[in-house]
């Protein structure tokens, strides 16, 4: 059978896409840097999901050998419209959901994975069988297409919810609320969030256009973004010391929270209609904050947050934030300056102490966090 130039380009683009997908899965499986290899689920929380999602693209191989088959093109369009939002949502929920300790997404993802597997398994089987099984528009195929469209919208809603989760986390994990940048991989999230957006938009545009040329361009764009994703995912973006992680693994695990939002401490909320507080009240709050942060050395908790500090002080979080911003330069700056001063004092008392020891004993958690914060606040 003779193939046109368009057929050959479509076959080549599919080949590139499938090869890149296999490469991402293989590298993610084989790339196990020490000492992180023993704690893959912590440092690379989505590694299993990455392997599963990218290996699924192998089913598009039918287009490599049958680029001009209409069933094959329809199968790819079904894969694009469902798979792209589903895969992206799954990877975002698995990686950042674990960082945020939220488990609400577990059951929906499993259910949708089963439905996606059933639909794509059916469409792939029909595409492999000789003849135009799908294009004949049988009653079964009409129901198949209808159900695929409904599931595509559901997967898109799941993807939008995953984006919303990350955007909300980026807003919450700001310097005004958190003292440790390692509590959430904020920089990585802000750098990588465009990749799933581009993949989903590209997939849906290519699906709705539906031509071989549009699908070929979409395959190449997604292959490029997947390569960029692989490069960024090779390094761990969670910097808890391995020794500390091993120590904590021997202790009872903390219960995971059901929602990604840190709850406002209801017991300490002060109901008031006043927009501002008096200077005397601000001074009293400032003394209370300094007592707990400096005298009681609350800054040694490397996961200290504004909410936890307000609970400790027994003062409304809004008031605590206002006083710290006005009188202490902001929560992040204030707490980490206390940590830097503590580290400097420890260095004087113990000149032979290593940077790792100073960082851990001063509330930074890791050496890299200590270096980053010192560079940020002392320059």
Q: What is the mean pLDDT of residues 331-360?
A: 90
Lowest mean pLDDT among 100-114, 229-243, 301-315, 361-375: 229-243
pLDDT at residue number 275: 47
Per-residue pLDDT at 136 exceeds 70:
no
Q: Residue 262's pLDDT is what?
A: 44
Whether pLDDT at 199 is above 70: yes
Buried b (16+ CB within 10 A) or exposed e, 9-36: bbbebbbbbbebbeebbebbeeeeeeeb
- Mean pLDDT, the chain, rounded, equals 83
Q: How far is CA 259 from CA 93, 165, 327, in A?
A: 13, 10, 32
- How far is 324 from 137, CA to CA, in rounded Å? 67
CA dist 181 and 175 (Å) reads: 8
Residue 205 has pLDDT above 50, yes or no: yes
Give CA–CA dist 342/179, Å, rounded: 15
Asked if 242 and 250 count as a contact pair (C-beta separation under 8 A), the reply is no
Q: 248 or 354: which carries more pLDDT confidence?
A: 354
Separation in Å, CA 278 to CA 15, 67, 102, 281: 69, 74, 39, 5
Task: Over range 24-43, report the average pLDDT.
Answer: 81
What architecture does CATH give domain 277-378? Orthogonal Bundle (1.10)
What is the reported pLDDT for 133? Answer: 55
pLDDT over 80 (residue 139):
no
Q: Which of 328, 254, 344, 343 is nearest to 292 (CA)?
A: 328
Angstrom CA distances, 136 to 70, 141, 305, stand at 10, 8, 61
Q: Place 250 in a pLDDT band, splitting at 50, 70 and 90.
A: low
pLDDT in tens, 156-180: 999 999 999 999 888 777 667 788 7
Q: Would you state the pLDDT for residue 135?
A: 55
* Per-residue model confidence (pLDDT) at position 243: 55
**Statement: residue 316 has pLDDT above 80:** yes
Binned at pLDDT 50, 70 and 90, residue 76 comes out as very high
Instruction: List all residues 6 or more positions away from 236 whose beta carbon is below 8 Å from its beta carbon.
Output: 33, 36, 43, 44
Note the pLDDT tens digit of each residue in 279-291.
Answer: 888 899 999 999 9
268 pLDDT tier (thresholds 50, 70, 90):
very low
Q: Does residue 212 or residue 128 have the better pLDDT?
A: 212
Q: Which residues contact 298 (CB under 8 A, 6 or more apart)?
A: 292, 304, 309, 312
Domain boundaries, the chain: 5-238, 277-378
pLDDT at 247 over 80: no
C-alpha closest to that of 73 among 210, 261, 171, 183: 210
Rg over alpha carbons for the chain, rounded to the nearest Å, is 26
């Amino acid at each position: 059978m003779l193939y046109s130039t368009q057929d050959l380009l479509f076959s080549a683009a599919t080949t590139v896409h499938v090869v890149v997908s296999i490469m991402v899965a293989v590298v993610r499986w084989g790339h196990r840097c020490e000492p992180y290899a023993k704690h893959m689920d912590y440092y690379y929380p989505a590694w299993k999901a990455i392997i599963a999602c990218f290996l699924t693209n192998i089913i598009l191989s039918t287009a490599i050998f049958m680029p001009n088959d209409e069933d094959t093109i329809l199968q790819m369009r079904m894969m694009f419209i469902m798979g792209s939002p589903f895969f992206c949502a799954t990877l975002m929920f698995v990686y950042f959901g674990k960082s945020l300790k939220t488990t609400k997404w577990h059951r929906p993802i499993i259910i949708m994975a089963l439905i996606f597997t059933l639909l794509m398994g059916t469409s792939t089987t029909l595409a492999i069988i000789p003849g135009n099984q799908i294009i004949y528009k049988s009653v079964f195929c009409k129901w198949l297409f209808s159900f695929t469209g409904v599931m595509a919208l559901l997967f898109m809603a799941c993807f939008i919810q995953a984006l919303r989760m990350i955007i909300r986390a980026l807003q919450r994990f700001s310097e005004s609320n958190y003292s440790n940048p390692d509590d959430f991989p904020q920089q990585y999230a802000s750098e990588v969030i465009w990749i799933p957006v581009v993949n989903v938009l590209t997939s849906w545009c290519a699906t709705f256009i539906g031509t071989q040329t549009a699908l070929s361009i979409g395959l190449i764009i997604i292959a490029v973004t997947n390569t960029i994703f692989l490069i960024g995912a090779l390094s761990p973006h969670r910097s808890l010391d391995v020794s500390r992680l091993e120590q904590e693994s021997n202790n009872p695990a903390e219960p995971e929270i059901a929602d990604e939002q840190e709850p406002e401490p209801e017991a300490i909320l002060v109901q008031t209609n006043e927009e501002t507080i008096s200077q005397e009240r601000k001074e009293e709050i400032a003394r209370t904050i300094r007592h707990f942060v400096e005298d009681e050395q609350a800054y040694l908790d490397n996961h200290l947050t504004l909410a936890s500090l307000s609970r400790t002080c027994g003062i409304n979080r809004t008031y605590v934030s206002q006083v710290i911003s006005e009188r202490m330069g902001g929560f992040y700056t204030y707490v980490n300056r206390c940590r830097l001063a503590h580290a400097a004092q420890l260095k004087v008392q113990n000149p032979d102490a290593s940077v790792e020891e100073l960082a851990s004993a001063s509330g930074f958690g890791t050496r890299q966090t200590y270096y980053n914060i010192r560079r940020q606040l002392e320059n």
